Each structure stands twice: as structure tokens, then as C-alpha cells.
Chains A and B, each alone.
Chain A
């Protein structure tokens, strides 16, 4: 008989000992009885004296009751050990099947005809392995992609394990072999005859294959310790010819945001020359299609300059197969890549100001602005001037009537009760000591040596989503906030102008136009340095446009699946499992209103994974891995069910005899 349960025998012994101790203690502890007052216990004494004549039998019954309880408990605990008849203890193995489900396993070369993927072939091999397991063998299935995911516990239930293997879906991420081996070694710790079977195409980078050691005395902490573990290799895959897009990105020109350029890198991983058509799409419109020819191992870098932006910001690069030799490959995943053009549009800006050359001059620096100017008196007389504007700038003027959302607002020196931020006082000669460098408005801006003779101080309420952008020793000088889709920025001091007493050297510094441009970009939701194209299988932190109130974002994947991701310090965590476009949406405190959203593109972008050449041999930590040996086959009988039934029978018997007052 062998024991195939989830506990080690020593663990089981501790549990059984503890349970037995509890049972015995419960029998030793005096039973708390209901007190009942009688007028004449003398009569009860007479009756019980007759009964006490049978005291020996009474004690025996109590002892039998204890033994029965221990027996029931013992049977249940014993069945938890999963006692099995017919398993060959000596050869029984604890197996972890590491099934590679990384991107390269999507290659359609599982069979000669090219109708089966590598993953399907790997599943078949894994199931054959499971079916050949002996009676005493138990196995755990683990999926290997960018993560290592245990799909089952250790079990000898072959149909269940086969079903789990059938349900495994391939990922679009590279494989992390080191992590998978580490997880398998942890799972096999303290188990007899540990065995790891790698079912994979063997397309791993050398660096990963080197991060394993069989030497128990190894001091390499990064290497997975495999000492005492038998690691075997079941190879799948036949072809190595593949041409894939390994890089695809796009950017707008800083000077002209109406135009953009695209970078594509394609590599031939095969050993024969290859031919393809490289197509670039903006939305559904083909921007460029050209035939390419690549020598074995050749890497082609393609740049598409000065492409005019259209309404659709989604770009797609595609490698189309062509007829003839070297015109196609079995791995389609890296034949398409996605990218996103950063958002940009020309802003309509209304400046409410008396003549202010500093402000107007700075505004002229920025091409993407369509600026208009009115005086404060004109605005107060007719606030509808602001209708349809994207941004209104109030220069030393705080009107009672402000434009309706989503028009964003920029204030210089707001005063009085209509100020967008509550004014807490005034500060003479403020020095900017703290600046929120993570805020989009403060990118590349240094204000530490700016001179200002005086400034209003804002009382910022974080609960309302207000943030201090620049402060002078905790006194907020520049503040920003969101009001739904509207964004508001307020600067506590005035710009120098004719007839004003205030003095600051900010307009004379580079920081001023930079900050103004940043502010306008922030209002427009445009961040020119924002990366929107990422590789799958890599955890990234994405800035969520200065979001301060949301702690969680919803991520809608290319397949429509919705997952949640945390936002910490305005950065959302992103992990791309599939190639394609992702929408990341952060909701407000109410959970209904969208406060920020961003669209991202994820591509395989992994030359290692695109190199699909299978290895018939695998060398791990300097040791060549062998194919698995045949398992010992034997007939097994599970005994736990009989023990549980027996325990149930005893419980029923005890119940009946107790309630019929036979055993009390």
C-alpha cells in the first residue's frame, strides 16, 4: 500500500497526534451538565445506587465511546492519506509537467502537414506521458509562458489531468523558463523521486538555460537549484523558418504634430532567403505596401518619414506571405504588429488679458494653438466668447462666470471667492521648494530659482482631486485639478504687464514657455514622450495623465476580456498577455465617471521568441536533458472511499445508540 495524499507522512502524524490529543482531552474534561434542583435527592441516590452496581459496564461504555471516536477520526485521517493498493512504492514518482504555452508554441508545425500547432503537439505528448504513469505516480501540470501557473495539484487522476492539459490556451508572451523551473523545484521539495518533464520547443535564450544548477554547493543565487531533481525533455516543433516584425513604433514630430514617422524592424530567423510583402496601415487604410526580401538572419530596418496624420490613430504593420519558396512561415503571431499615434489636435485658446506680450509671445511659440484675445471687460460683458474654446486663459482676472466644461482653464493670479482654488493667504518672496515632477505640466520645468515678489497661496483639498504642483515650503503656489473632463491650472502670481505692481522673472526663463506648452498639452491630453507600444509578457507602469483620485483601472484586452489593475502614484500596472490594443480606463471616486483613459498597443517584439527554431536537445545548467523513461505500470485500488464509508457507518451507529440511550 502506498499513500498518495497531499500531506507528507510526518505532517499527517502531527495532525493525527493533535486530533487524538484533542479527542482524549475532550473526554477527560468534565462535561458541563444542566443543573436541576430536586427536593429530595435521597430518592435519586437510592435509584442511582442500583445503577452504580453496573459502574464497571458504565466505565467500559465510556472507554468504548472514546475508542470509537478515535477510530472514526483515525479512519477519516487515514483516508486523507489517500491509501492506494497496487502502487509500486519504490518506483513511484512525483512529476511536474512543464507545458510550454509561450508565443512560439503557436507555430503551426506540430505535424508534417502544418495543420497542428506546436502547443497541440505538446499537449499530445504531455497526455501520453500522463497516461503512461504508473499506479504510484502523481503529477502536477504547470503552464509556462511569461509566468509559471500551476494548473492542478499533485494527482494520479489521469483523466482530470488530461482535461486540464486540453484546456490550456497559448499566450502571446515569451516563456520564462527560469521562473517555471523555480516553481517546479519548490513544488517538488521534500517529495520522493522528483521528476520535471519539460514539454517545449526548446526555443529559449542561452541566458535562461544557464540559470540552473545541479550543484548543491553552488553559490549562484540567481540560478535555480535542481540538485536531486530529474529533469527530462520532450521536444516538439519541426520548422525553424520564420520572418517576424521585431520592432514597430511611431512618433509625432515635436515641431509638427500633424505629421508622424514610423519605424519597423523585420528579421528573417530562417536559414533560407525569405520574401514577404510589408504593409503599413493607418486604421483600415493601407499607407504603404512594399515587397521585401531577406537573406538568412538579415534584419531589415524600415523608416517611414513625414506621414500625414488622419483621424484614426491606430497603426498596424503586417507581413503578408507571397507565393513561391520562402514566401511563408508557420508562425503568424509576429507577422502583425500594432502601434498607436499619440493624440494631438490644434487647440482653440482664448486669452482673457489686457495686452501681455509675455503671455502672447509664449503662446506664439506653439504651432498647435489657434489663439484669440479679448479684454477682461469684453469677457465679463459677453462670456459666450468662450463657447467652443478648448482652453481659456485668465490673466490676472477672476470672472464670476466661467465657460462650461469641457473647456479647460488656466489662471494667472486668481483672486477673490471665484478663484478655482481656495485662497489661504499671500506669501512674500516665495521660493519654489517642492515641485511635482511627475505631473505633465512640470515635465522638464525647473522653477527653483524663479524670483517672484509675492504670490497667492492656495488651500489644496486632496479629497476633491486637487493637487499641489509647486509649493514654497508647503504653501501651494501652483495647483491643478480635474473637474470631470475639464482640467484647471492656477498660478498664484501675476505675469509682469503694464500697470501691474507685481514682479517675477518667470517669463524671462525657458521654464515659462515650456510650462505653458506642457499645460496646453495636458489640457489636450497629449504627452509627446508617452510610450504607447509595449511588449507582451513584461510588466509596465503606465502614467495615467496625472490621475490622483483613482486607485484602480479597468483594462479591456484585444479579446474583449476586462480585468482590473491598480493605480499607484498615478501609474497603472500593465501586463500584456495578448498582442493587440488595450484600453485602460480609470474611473472617479463614484466609479462611474471616467477621469482618465489611455489606449495601448502590445506586440510580441521578442527576437528570442520569434526565433522559433526547435531544439532536439536541451542543455540546462551544463547538463544535457534526456527523454523521459517509461513509467512502471500497475493496477491500483483507491481505498479512501471505503474508509470514509466505514467512518460514516460508525458515526451513524454511534448516533443511534446514543439517542436510544444504549451507550449512555
Chain B
């Protein structure tokens, strides 16, 4: 089932390529050129980040991580009431002696952690100067992938817009990083942001639960809640990274303009005055705050960054907060 859903989704993605290519002509040309995105300097920075991550979390990195999955591990997790058919070996006889109730001992199951890096490659991510948000998101995604691979986690990368455009299957071992670079360089970009539909496709395609790192600007007219809720309800651990450009938060505009939405093509004519600019800045801040408070409310790690902050600085911040490495 998962396979058919996956192939169907890719077919739909390729069907929408024509539309994407048409839009690509109006897209930021700088975003299309990703040839110098992952150079030698970038690789050195990744290695440095990996070293730092080991130093910061020394003694806590034995390659494996625990998932919340309860199974046949050695570390006690919880009790539950015995039901017919359960393994007798796990009945806690001491408790039976004290409480006269048959309770089973549960252990945390140890297995490889699956990390899914979901990178938003919609048209809105192509905006940004001097560095498009897309490039920034890909660099952050690649850095987190590298650390995950180096920690022997299984890391998959899924670029998305209104469809999951492509998929780099889960792999482990840091020698896979060049495949990741090649994948990010060559994957198609463009399209609208539709988080709700995307996450539905994502959970259908990926049955193994794990960490879902969503790197996006979260500029979805339908709202971000639907997508993140889908992840939560399906036992994924959402990890939210919001990327924005400073100029889109505080645009320097004036006069009579026709504002064109880069994704939908909707045009609105407006005479930009100081008061309108002020209202827009407030609206943008409010939108970002609503995302942040939503994530806080549901205990999802959340990071907001703009493209002026170096990506390695952001990655270190993520490490220090402990949401990514455990």
C-alpha cells in the first residue's frame, strides 16, 4: 500500500512539473542555480558541526537512540494489565504478590531512529536576497542530515511544495552525504505550499515513525496547523524550522504597486504608505508568533531564523537546545 501511494504521489508530482517549469521563468533565477550550494567549505563546516555535536553530547552517543516504541528492550518503561495471550515471562510476579493483580512489565524497544528532513521547495522559498530561503533551507537540511547520518540514524530527505516532489530513501552512514548533496542539487523546485495535503501523503508513504524535521517558511494560505497535526496524530515527532527573509518581514516598499503572489499569481493593487507597511510588519510578526505558540503548546521543538543568520550558527543552536540530538 505504501509503495503504491508513494508511486502515485510521484506520478502526480511529475504531472505538475509542466506547471512548475512555466512558473520557473518568473521565479528568482538565483534560486535555480544550486551548483555552488555544497562546496568544500560547506563540507568542512559540516565536519566541524559533527565534531561539536560529539563534544557537546559526550557520553550520550552510542549510535543508537531510543524511540518511544515500547517493545523488547532491556530498559523498563511501564506496566500494563495482563490480557489473554500476553507472554507469561513479562508478568511482574512481585507485584502480583503484593497487589494480587496480573501486570505486565513493559520495556523500551531499542531500534534505529528514522529522521525525515522535509524541505519546502515551493516558489515562495525562492525569494530572498542575497541568499534565497531555499538555499538556506537546503544547507540547514544537509547539515542536519550529515549529523544524523554520522550518528548512524536512518535519514530520508523529501523536498515538497504542493506535492512531495521526490524522495531520497532512508540511509545511514556519513559516506552517503554526497548522494544527499547531489539529490538536493538536482531535485525539482517550485509549486505552491500546501502543508495539509503534503503531510497526509508523507505519513501514508512512511510507516516507520520518527523525527520529522519540517524546514519551510510555512506560508500556507490554508494554515500550518493541519499539516503539523497530521504528523502529531500519526506519532511522528515534528521538528519545526521556520525560515524567512528579513526583507519579506520588513519590506522597503513605497508608492503605487501591483503585488503579485509568487505562488498563486494573485495580484493586488496597493498604494503603499507608511501605515500600511507598519500594519504588514505587524501581521507578519503575528503570523510567525502564532506558529511559535502553536509549536510550544504541543511541545514541538520550534526554531525561527532568517537567512542572514549563518546556517551553522542555527544548527549549533538546535544542538544546544537538545531537540534534535538525544
Q: Distance in Å from the Cβ of A184 to the closest Cβ of chain B? A: 55
**Also in contact, A37 and B257, with CB within 8 A (given A45-B268, A664-B273):** no
Is B311 in contact with chain A by the CB < 8 A criterion? no
**CA separation between A7 and B245, bound complex, in Å?**
62
**CA separation between A198 and B269, bound complex, in Å?**
68
A43: which B residues are within 8 A, CB to CB? 280, 283-284, 287
**Also in contact, A36 and B266, with CB within 8 A (given A47-B283, A50-B279, A661-B274):** no
**CA separation between A353 and B257, bound complex, in Å?**
94
B217: which A residues are within 8 A, CB to CB? 39-40
**Also in contact, A664 and B271, with CB within 8 A (given A38-B261, A46-B283):** yes
Nearest residue (CB) in A for B218 is A40
The stretch that binds B, out of A27-35, A175-183, A482-490, is A27-35
**Also in contact, A36 and B271, with CB within 8 A (given A42-B219, A47-B283, A51-B276):** no
Interface SS, B side: mixed
Q: A37 touching B255 by the CB < 8 A rule? A: no
**CA separation between A36 and B123, bound complex, in Å?**
14
**CA separation between A33 and B257, bound complex, in Å?**
5
Q: Which residue in B257, B262, B269 is a CB contact (below 8 Å) of A39? A: B262
How many of chain A's residues have a CB under 8 angstroms from any CB in B? Answer: 21
Q: A41 touching B279 by the CB < 8 A rule? A: no
A31: which B residues are within 8 A, CB to CB? 256
Q: A37 touching B269 by the CB < 8 A rule? A: no
Q: B270 touching A44 by the CB < 8 A rule? A: yes
Nearest residue (CB) in B for A46 is B283
| Per-residue interface assignment for chain B, residues 119 to 149, with 1 indicating a CB less than 8 Å from any chain A CB and 0 otherwise | 0000111010000000000000000000000
A46: which B residues are within 8 A, CB to CB? 283
Q: Distance in Å from the Cβ of B208 to the closest Cβ of chain A? A: 33
Is B264 in contact with chain A by the CB < 8 A criterion? yes
Q: Which residue in B260, B263, B274, B287 is a CB contact (below 8 Å) of A36? A: B260
Is A48 in contact with chain B by the CB < 8 A criterion? yes
Q: B279 touching A33 by the CB < 8 A rule? A: no
A38: which B residues are within 8 A, CB to CB? 248, 251, 259-262
**CA separation between A51 and B272, bound complex, in Å?**
11
B263: which A residues are within 8 A, CB to CB? 39
Q: Distance in Å from the Cβ of B31 to the closest Cβ of chain A? A: 12
Q: B260 touching A37 by the CB < 8 A rule? A: yes
Is B221 in contact with chain A by the CB < 8 A criterion? yes
> What total count of A-B pairs have CB within 8 Å?
81
Q: Distance in Å from the Cβ of B271 to the closest Cβ of chain A? A: 5
Q: A34 touching B124 by the CB < 8 A rule? A: no
B273: which A residues are within 8 A, CB to CB? 661, 664
How many of chain B's residues have a CB under 8 angstroms from any CB in A? Answer: 36
A34: which B residues are within 8 A, CB to CB? 255-258
Q: A40 touching B258 by the CB < 8 A rule? A: no
Is B52 in contact with chain A by the CB < 8 A criterion? no
**CA separation between A563 and B9, bound complex, in Å?**
91
Is B253 in contact with chain A by the CB < 8 A criterion? yes
**Also in contact, A36 and B253, with CB within 8 A (given A41-B261, A45-B268, A661-B273):** yes
**CA separation between A37 and B263, bound complex, in Å?**
9
Q: Distance in Å from the Cβ of A9 to the closest Cβ of chain B? A: 39
Nearest residue (CB) in B for A39 is B124
| Per-residue interface assignment for chain B, residues 97 to 133, with 1 indicating a CB less than 8 Å from any chain A CB and 0 otherwise | 0000000000000000000000000011101000000
Residue of B253, B257, B283 most packed against chain A (CB within 10 A): B283
**CA separation between A44 and B264, bound complex, in Å?**
14
Q: Distance in Å from the Cβ of B104 to the closest Cβ of chain A? A: 51
Nearest residue (CB) in B for A50 is B279
**CA separation between A31 and B296, bound complex, in Å?**
46
**CA separation between A39 and B273, bound complex, in Å?**
20
**CA separation between A496 and B279, bound complex, in Å?**
111
| Per-residue interface assignment for chain A, residues 35 to 71, with 1 indicating a CB less than 8 Å from any chain B CB and 0 otherwise | 1111111111111101100000000000000000000
B280: which A residues are within 8 A, CB to CB? 43-44, 47
A41: which B residues are within 8 A, CB to CB? 259-261, 264, 266, 268
B259: which A residues are within 8 A, CB to CB? 36-38, 41, 44
Taking CB atoms and an 8 Å cut-off, the chain B residues in 147-202 that contact chain A are: none
A661: which B residues are within 8 A, CB to CB? 271, 273-274
Q: Distance in Å from the Cβ of B140 to the closest Cβ of chain A? A: 18
| Per-residue interface assignment for chain A, residues 597 to 620, with 1 indicating a CB less than 8 Å from any chain B CB and 0 otherwise | 000000000000000000000000
Nearest residue (CB) in A for B283 is A43
B125: which A residues are within 8 A, CB to CB? 39
Q: A37 touching B270 by the CB < 8 A rule? A: no
A37: which B residues are within 8 A, CB to CB? 26, 127, 259-262
Nearest residue (CB) in A for B221 is A42
Residue of A34, A40, A45, A46 most packed against chain B (CB within 10 A): A40
| Per-residue interface assignment for chain B, residues 232 to 260, with 1 indicating a CB less than 8 Å from any chain A CB and 0 otherwise | 00000000000001001001010111111
Q: A48 touching B270 by the CB < 8 A rule? A: yes
Q: Distance in Å from the Cβ of B27 to the closest Cβ of chain A? A: 9
Q: Distance in Å from the Cβ of B306 to the closest Cβ of chain A? A: 13
**CA separation between A617 and B271, bound complex, in Å?**
76
Q: Distance in Å from the Cβ of B217 to the closest Cβ of chain A? A: 7
Nearest residue (CB) in A for B222 is A42
**CA separation between A48 and B123, bound complex, in Å?**
23
Q: Distance in Å from the Cβ of A69 to the closest Cβ of chain B? A: 17
**Also in contact, A39 and B258, with CB within 8 A (given A44-B270, A47-B276):** no
List 14 other contacts, CB 8 Å, given A43-B280, A44-B280, A45-B268: A34-B256, A35-B257, A36-B258, A36-B260, A39-B123, A39-B245, A40-B219, A41-B266, A41-B268, A43-B283, A43-B284, A47-B279, A47-B280, A48-B268
Name the 3 nearest CB pairs between A and B, nearest first: A41-B261, A39-B124, A40-B219
**Which chain A residues have a beta carbon within 8 Å of chain B's beta carbons?**
31, 33-48, 50-51, 661, 664
Query: Could you list 18 examples of A-B contacts with CB < 8 Å?
Result: A33-B258, A35-B257, A35-B258, A36-B258, A37-B127, A38-B248, A38-B251, A39-B219, A39-B261, A39-B263, A40-B261, A41-B259, A43-B287, A46-B283, A47-B279, A48-B270, A51-B276, A664-B271
**Which chain B residues have a beta carbon within 8 Å of chain A's beta carbons?**
26, 123-125, 127, 217, 219, 221, 245, 248, 251, 253, 255-264, 266-271, 273-274, 276, 279-280, 283-284, 287
